[in-house]
Structure 1
């Protein structure tokens, strides 16, 4: 028997209540000293006493009536305190709300696991200690971002639970919830890239653009880099490296998405994709050695919100269309037809096709599915090579276009070996 097994659980819960209330009280005292408030609620001892009161009242009465009465009485006392503040021209309810949360530390120590109690206290301390950071973030955050976040909560927390887990139709071997889950995951990846690009990396240098826009959409990144390359004819090595990096981010993004939908297929794709990623990074690093490190690329990308409801609906429609087409092709033409379809899809948007292929029940082997994913990504590289040449119209993208074309050829050869 360990020593901790001999300690009554009630004693441990009480000790945690007192200790955590004391720590939050210290941070609250520091908060008022830093902000130089003349009027403040209580002290460290007051916080500890409030936490003990909540712990005792919650433990005494199984019906929790005493605890509820104590909560109401404390709320009434805090209301009087707020009126006192208001008479002095201070209208903040921060301190009263914090005191009510301190009252809940004891019940949290009893009713919830220790990790939740620790997380609860850490959040309180961070709110007290990071006031300037929170204010700066709220000042910088555009109102549109809050609306966009609300849209994401709607499509993930409201729409998804309402969708049934049954096939849409006999010719569409994918469920309603799988379609919308694909929308959420793809939109989430794109939105993360959007936030990083908009708020953390505003300088938007060439390589930053390649990485972040490549996570958002490697095709968009290629078009942007190709357009800007018209004025960077003497920077061939750096521009080509950026094109390669953007496509490398596509492979990383695809691996992450595929792992979420079908880990078995992702494991089979890991060797070829890892080899492509490694070789591409080496090629980009070698190219960057022959180029000046600082090339301006300001205002390179103006990406749109990826969580617009119209965008989500369009992705869902494409997902269903690709599911139907894939089911028809695999049923009538087998793996060869699937490879031809993958090549054609690679010239459009490959995400709906790949996720539909992974989510549905098709008459195709796992090897055929892996080959189709490789072929679609390779065909998309060929499209990006053409885009880069068309928009740049100079030699700055020459090596990058050759590399993307080589990836297409290698993908076709690898896919062929899987279906033999």
Structure 2
């Protein structure tokens, strides 16, 4: 937020304090009327005066002792007032805490960057205006989800900083922290998919199943949809569209993970992956133009809990195994051996292989690594085509199988073009 140089900074800070205190006061006034709030110590004008008090006391005393005394006296007055009223009925401390936060607006205007000030005020306004939504979320949020969030914070904020940034072994040219960073990135993406699935799409169509399942695991989504398709021969457009959409979401998930983990490789993969995503979506729209008049069949939940400790350990072990295998292949067979390995790995879980490939230091060129990523994702499409055909055993997956095989063939051709 830029201001003309001719305006005194003190005037700008004063105006911002008044303006934002006034905005929060207006919203608090509406909050009082809407919720018939009984703790009436004031509203809009009172909030402006509290904000001005904090700003003036903070500004006139560079030691900020007066500001601290003012905070203590204001808090004491509000608590006494609250105690007097709460002796008659049960009241919340919400208004007391909000008034104290408004008192802090002046120092926030003076010290923090403007983006933090705006974020601070927007958060206060949202807390006041979205009370019903906050209550609905807290009522729906299961207690085990808090434990799940705690697990994610532990694996990302506690374990990662403790791991050393040094290679594990000569046969495994990857550091300890890189392995766990890969676990965090993949687990975080799966956790996001899990939350969306659990709290927004409990009852889903096949298309939603393909989208959410593809974000979680396109192979798992293909297996589940393929089994369901065995009894849905008449819903071919919906089934094939869901399968293709799962693969499109796989490319989106891989692209985001790679950009977070290895931005340089992600930039080189941006064009081919975006092409696969856009063409897949266009194919889905083309198929849905020929959909049947019947409604889409429903699908069961396929996303399991993504933050179990056993899952993280298995992923970390897979990461280390693929790193060792890749080191052996690249050291003895070079880029050609890596291409052959990538095609084979496509018939397994490709996430640990791709991330180990991007994080290690191997004796191959960057083009060979990009080619390996494309080949692994392409051969994984061939695996999904086989799964779909074998599990469905009817024409409902024909279009999806053809498209997945086409993506595999294009991946082979593109990889050879890169290595040419």
Q: Same fold (TM over 0.5)?
A: yes
Q: Which residue of 2 aligns with 1:106?
A: 106
Q: Which residue of 1 aligns with 2:328?
A: 328
SS of 2:4's equivalent in the other structure is helix
Post-superposition offset of 1:48: 1.6
Q: So what's the TM-score if we normalise by structure 2?
A: 0.95
C-alpha change, 1:40 and 1:165, in structure 2 (3 Å) is same
Q: Which residue of 2 aligns with 1:278?
A: 278
Cα separation, 2, equivalents of 1:188 and 1:341: 27
SS of 1:62's equivalent in the other structure is coil
Contact 1:213 1:301 (C-alpha < 8 Å) held by counterparts: no
C-alpha change, 1:94 and 1:234, in structure 2 (3 Å) is same
Alignment of 1:58-77 (within 5 A): 58-77=58-77
Post-superposition offset of 1:53: 1.6
Cα separation, 2, equivalents of 1:237 and 1:48: 60
Post-superposition offset of 1:273: 2.4
Contact 2:385 2:400 (C-alpha < 8 Å) held by counterparts: yes
**Are residues 1:382 and 2:360 paired?**
no
SS of 2:230's equivalent in the other structure is helix
Q: Which residue of 1 aligns with 2:141?
A: 141
SS of 1:5's equivalent in the other structure is coil
Contact 1:26 1:44 (C-alpha < 8 Å) held by counterparts: yes
Post-superposition offset of 1:165: 2.1
Q: So what's the TM-score if we normalise by structure 1?
A: 0.95
**Are residues 1:85 and 2:73 paired?**
no
Contact 2:39 2:91 (C-alpha < 8 Å) held by counterparts: no
Q: Which residue of 2 aligns with 1:226?
A: 226
Cα separation, 2, equivalents of 1:285 and 1:157: 42
Post-superposition offset of 1:299: 4.1
Q: Which residue of 1 aligns with 2:56?
A: 56
Q: Which residue of 2 aligns with 1:407?
A: 407
CA deviations 1:130-182 (Å, max 9, x no partner) are: 11111111112222222212222222222222222222222222122221221
SS of 1:213's equivalent in the other structure is helix
Cα separation, 1, equivalents of 2:37 and 2:273: 58
The more displaced of 8-17 and 39-48 is: 39-48
Once superposed, what is the RMSD of the aligned Cα atoms? 1.8
Cα separation, 2, equivalents of 1:293 and 1:155: 48
Q: Which residue of 2 aligns with 1:308?
A: 308
Contact 1:323 1:360 (C-alpha < 8 Å) held by counterparts: yes
Alignment of 1:2-401 (within 5 A): 4-292=4-292, 295-401=295-401
Post-superposition offset of 1:293: 6.1
SS of 2:174's equivalent in the other structure is strand
Contact 1:166 1:175 (C-alpha < 8 Å) held by counterparts: yes
Cα separation, 1, equivalents of 2:228 and 2:397: 11
C-alpha change, 1:386 and 1:44, in structure 2 (3 Å) is same
C-alpha change, 1:251 and 1:34, in structure 2 (3 Å) is same
Cα separation, 1, equivalents of 2:139 and 2:299: 22
Cα separation, 2, equivalents of 1:398 and 1:58: 71
SS of 1:4's equivalent in the other structure is coil
SS of 2:168's equivalent in the other structure is strand
Contact 2:27 2:128 (C-alpha < 8 Å) held by counterparts: yes
Show structure 2 runs of 5+ residues with no match: none
SS of 2:173's equivalent in the other structure is strand
The more displaced of 151-160 and 92-101 is: 151-160
Cα separation, 2, equivalents of 1:151 and 1:294: 43
